[in-house]
Amino acid sequence: MDKIRIRGGRPLHGEIMIGGAKNASLPLMAAGLLTEERLVLGNVPRLADIDTMTSLLAQHGIAVDPVGNDGRTLSLGGAITSTEAPYDIVRKMRASILVLGPLLARCREARVSLPGGCAIGTRPVDLHLKGLEAMGAQIELEAGYINATAPGGLRGAMIVLPFASVGATENLMMAAALADGQTIIANAAREPEIDDLARCLIAMGARIEGLGTGTLTIEGVKALHAAKHNVIPDRIETGTYACAAAITGGTVLLRGADLSHLAAVRSVMDSAGVELTAEPDGVRVTRRNGLHGTDAMTEPYPGFPTDMQAQFLVLMSVAQGAAMVTETIFENRFMHVSELTRMGASINVHGASAIVRGVPSLSGAPVMATDLRASASLVIAGLAAHGETIVNRVYHLDRGYEALEQKLAACGADVERIAG
Ligand code: UD1
């Protein structure tokens, strides 16, 4: 298995190209199931999770073909030949659940493996299922699979989400686009990736109102048609490299990034002594002087993203003073803390909060993480640490960061992938 070797202590200077958002691309690809015509998606990042979604769609009969030479434009199309999403693919990526709504809406049946356990908490899919049931689906759980049918087709419904789940909002919005009548999703998630999906569905002929608000109103239509859509820049990749630049004391232009999606991150980073400024080509990251301990609490958008918690925690681990970082979205999302402690960080977890006491420096060590963002946080720690850090289980990083080591090396980091 590949590893990443980092020799820390070098400030990052230069430019990093920010790719299309993984978490927007995955639901957008699932939306390819909603039409028999072609859906063309531009600015799709080249990531292992995109390959997993490609395999899943192929299993349903939808071909995902690259268009042109950039490898970032995908054309999706084909007739649905299977409504089953098997365990072997779903277990690799939880976002596979996003095929459930589209399959049910298009084919009136779907059999999707339950995603099962996950390193960052139990992560049930009950909100997806309850919403689909409200739309008339009959759902049974059997032998680890969700068996869903809607013999008369899905019909519009009033759905109040008890929690603004990103995936449930996406699944239900896609299903509602082809349901009979009006669906209202109240307490819908408001993440930019949801807006991006809604804009693509509208380009495909869907009737959706309330974008960017907590209430989405969807008038079902009989069929959706071909469309072309460009994926928004990845705000989490942006925030990750912002933390990387800041911890090394460097200055980096994150080319193509959109600061408007990062208001909460910008504000917290500002208090910590790091400036994120919009430039015509992207976002510039500059550290004013030292880093200051700053509290942060993860919340649904527009709050501070849970997917930035681990990276920000590392930044705080070398800040002056103390910081309290509270995780409200996922239970059990502090698995990176024990590895950071091995690198010399002083962090205590009490329930949903991590209390960080900044230390003057970290020291390199062999480390590994159990999820994507935690792995990214260890890379950031390695960039700041004295000596050599080896990050194991690189496949987590490959799920969500394209060419991570090349992007960092181009800005002066001493980082390389060791094939193993
Ligand atoms: C998406 C993102 C993920 C991010 C998360 C929160 C994608 C592909 N993934 O995941 O990177 O960390 O949003 O911003 O976009 N929950 C339930 N029942 C449900 C659904 C969710 O209890 O049916 C709970 C989860 O266990 C979790 C919380 O709601 O505690 C948030 O989950 P959700 O917003 O659904 O996240 P995902 O869509 O899985």
Closest residue by Cα to atom 39, ligand 1, is 167
DSSP string, 242-266: HHHHHHHT-EEEEET--GGG-HHHH
Are the beta carbons of 75 and 65 closer than 8 angstroms?
yes
**Residue 118 falls in the annotated catalytic set:** yes
What is the pLDDT, as a whole number, of residue 121? 55
Residue with tokens 């950039």: 70
What is the pLDDT, as a whole number, of residue 71? 87
Enter the tokens of residue 330.
């996922």
Query: How far does the centroid of ligand 1 lie from the alpha carbon of residue 94, in Å?
Result: 9
Are the beta carbons of 32 and 76 closer than 8 angstroms?
yes
Query: How far does the centroid of ligand 1 lie from the alpha carbon of residue 281, in Å?
Result: 31
Q: Is the CB of 307 under 6 A from ligand 1?
A: yes
CB-CB neighbours of 203 under 10 Å: 15
Active-site residue identified among 118, 200, 243, 411:
118
What is the pLDDT, as a whole number, of residue 375? 95
What is the pLDDT, as a whole number, of residue 369? 83
Per-residue pLDDT tens, the chain, 420 aa: give them.
899 999 999 999 999 999 999 999 999 999 999 999 999 999 999 999 999 999 999 999 999 999 988 889 999 999 999 999 999 999 999 999 999 999 999 999 999 999 865 555 557 899 999 999 999 999 999 989 999 999 999 999 999 999 999 999 999 999 999 999 999 999 999 999 999 999 999 999 999 999 999 999 999 999 999 999 999 999 999 999 999 999 999 999 999 999 999 999 999 999 999 999 999 999 999 999 999 999 999 999 999 999 999 999 999 999 999 999 999 999 889 999 999 999 999 999 999 999 999 999 999 999 998 889 999 999 999 999 999 999 998 888 999 999 999 999 999 999 999 998
In a 13 Å sphere around the CA of 346, the CA atoms on its Cβ side amount to: 12
The one-letter amino acid code at 283 reads V
Helix segments in 87-184, DSSP class H: 87-90, 100-107, 126-134, 166-177
What is the pLDDT, as a whole number, of residue 34? 98
Enter the tokens of residue 169.
């909002």
Query: How far does the centroid of ligand 1 lie from the alpha carbon of residue 382, in Å?
Result: 28
Which ligand 1 atom is the nearest neighbour of the CA of 193?
15
Are the beta carbons of 102 and 117 closer than 8 angstroms?
no
Task: Say how many residues make up the chain.
Answer: 420
Task: List the beta bridge partners of residue 110.
Answer: 148
Are the beta carbons of 399 and 2 closer than 8 angstroms?
no
Enter the tokens of residue 49.
């999770």
Strand extents, DSSP E, 79-232: 84-85, 109-113, 138-142, 145-149, 158-160, 182-186, 207-209, 215-219, 227-230
Closest to 77 in 3D by CA, of 224, 230, 233: 224
Query: How far does the centroid of ligand 1 lie from the alpha carbon of residue 21, in Å?
Result: 16
What is the pLDDT, as a whole number, of residue 119? 54
Q: Is the CB of 52 under 6 A from ligand 1?
A: no
H/E stretch holding 341:
helix 336-342
